[in-house]
């Protein structure tokens, strides 16, 4: 028996609607994205939890994206999947410190910034399709969580993997990337692709009038 038969039933019902293993992604404005997710304990049967992870991974790949938190498919539990094995240019890999991140499941994660160094890069979000914005984040973070099998994880991430960890963990706290973004940098995807897809956002900052150090727009 599970402690939460209602949650078990709701998740099983949701998963039954997956098409080719993929579910629709919840978009901004839905309250599930603005509510802190409940800690994952034993609400779900093991097979249901495994199925949930399978669908989350398939949905992330289908989007495509490099991470997906359970609330993004309507499940208010503290679990996310992350994976970044996409090929990028050598310049992008160097400037963004974008190193391969093999698939992993993070359960009940929390993170802390490591040191004072910060980096600002454009980010997008599967729950806010069509736009990207510059988000200042810590260059390194310390992740504490468990894996799918309950093993304790206490690990430091740097560069782009740190950004992914922070972005997905924020989702589980009801925070969307635009909450942390330099709003003056907000760009539609086609504009971003045409004008601002450099490895770093200095050109965008100069043209759009924001400071990469402070995130403030130019009020003049």
**Catalytic residue positions, numbered:** 168
CB burial class (10 A; 0-12, 13-18, 19+) of residue 95?
middle
CA atoms of 28 and 23, how far apart (whole Å): 16
Closest CA to 142 of 155, 158, 160, 161: 155
The widest CA-to-CA distance across the chain, in whole angstroms, is: 63
Give the tokens for residue 219. Answer: 């009020």
- Which residues, other chains included, contact 165 with Cβ-Cβ below 8 Å and sequence gap of 6+? 82, 106, 109, 111, 141, 143, 157
- 209 Cα distance to chain centroid: 27
């Amino acid at each position: 028996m599970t402690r939460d038969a209602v949650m078990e039933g709701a998740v099983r019902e949701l998963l039954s609607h997956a098409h080719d293993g993929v579910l629709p992604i919840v978009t901004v404005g839905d309250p599930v994205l603005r509510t802190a997710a409940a800690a994952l304990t034993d609400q779900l049967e093991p097979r249901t939890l495994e199925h949930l992870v399978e669908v989350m991974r398939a949905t992330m790949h289908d989007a495509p994206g490099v991470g997906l938190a359970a609330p993004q498919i309507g499940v208010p539990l503290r679990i996310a999947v992350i994976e970044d094995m996409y090929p990028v240019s050598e310049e992008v890999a160097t400037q963004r410190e974008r190193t391969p991140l093999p698939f992993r499941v993070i359960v009940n994660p929390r993170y802390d910034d490591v040191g004072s160094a910060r980096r600002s890069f454009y980010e997008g979000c599967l729950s806010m399709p069509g736009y990207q914005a510059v988000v200042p984040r810590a260059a390194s973070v310390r992740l504490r969580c468990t894996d799918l099998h309950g093993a304790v994880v206490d690990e430091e991430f740097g560069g782009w993997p740190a950004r992914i960890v922070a972005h997905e963990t924020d989702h589980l706290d009801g925070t969307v990337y635009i909450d942390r973004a330099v709003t003056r940098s907000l760009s539609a995807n086609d504009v971003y692709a045409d004008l601002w897809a450099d490895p770093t956002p200095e050109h965008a900052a100069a043209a759009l009038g924001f400071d990469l150090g402070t995130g403030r727009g130019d009020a003049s």
